[in-house]
Structure 1
């Protein structure tokens, strides 16, 4: 269990870094987009809703992992008043053959629901996992989906990441 948590702790900054560079930012800037004013809890609830809407688009029977969103810093911003939300979760299809169907449905359905696919294709890993990164500017959110066919069991690994929020005046970021 400790190894899995350590691996997640190491992988999360890499995932956040990968998603930060997405095109949901101004094309001439690497700055994370402003997502609005919110408390950490309300922004976390919004990330859950975004994840839930993506789950609904998968369209095949299966099971989602039970994970909670977390809070991270916005680079170059005051960590007491600015934050981002990340929500990592996995989808395990009822049948391994449905993994391809699920990924193809997401590739097709995300754009119909306001998402712009900015990356799609195999990664550089030995398994050549298919990666899909999509941005939703209206929600200032990004999702990275990795089709992990060779895992046992096969799964989609998803991480939803928000833009940078600012807490309401007089409040501080709640970390969880």
Structure 2
């Protein structure tokens, strides 16, 4: 657990180059997509650099990779959520949350942590037309790295 006081600021888990963490973020997203194993329409976004909460901009960073997969049916995506819940632990992930979230639609949400790789993932399942609007069945995935310090001589310049 995170046992820092507010005055301490964020604690990086180590020093890594942005390119390294970017590559690992893409690899993890790809692994998650493989487990989902549903043919659908992917969003086109790549990983992005964020400042760690409470950190001075430019010194510490984390990677976020939000993406979505629009699938053929609620039933297919429900099977994908079950696969994620069953298969992620086989790849070193620990499921820390699984169930309806607090949204009006009570969307099914899965949250998992990978202590060794220092990543977390959240997957939200939006059933067809659940958003109060019309929407196709969609999985919203957000892969987030831990907070890292950039190596000496490197700057965090990709926001």
Q: Determine if the TM-score, normalized by the shorter chain, exceeds 0.5.
A: yes
Aligned-partner Cα distance in 2 for 1:32–1:110? 28
1:87 aligns with 2:65: yes
Aligned-partner Cα distance in 1 for 2:60–2:2? 22
* Residue of structure 1 in register with 2:139 after alignment: 156
**CA deviations over 1:51-110 (Å, ceiling 9, x no partner):** 011111112322321111111111233322210110000012233420111111111111
Equivalent residue pairs, number: 151
**CA deviations over 1:7-55 (Å, ceiling 9, x no partner):** xxxxxxxxxxxxxxxxxxx364588664432222332221111101111
Q: Is the 8 A contact 2:45 2:66 kept in 1?
A: yes
1:146 aligns with 2:124: yes
Which structure would you say has the larger Rg?
2
Q: Where is the helix percentage greater, Structure 1 or Structure 2?
A: 1
Q: 1:137 to 1:33 in 2, by over 3 A?
A: farther
Q: 1:156 to 1:108 in 2, by over 3 A?
A: same
Aligned-partner Cα distance in 2 for 1:37–1:111? 27
Q: Calculate the TM-score normalised by the size of structure 2.
A: 0.85
Aligned-pair RMSD on alpha carbons? 2.0
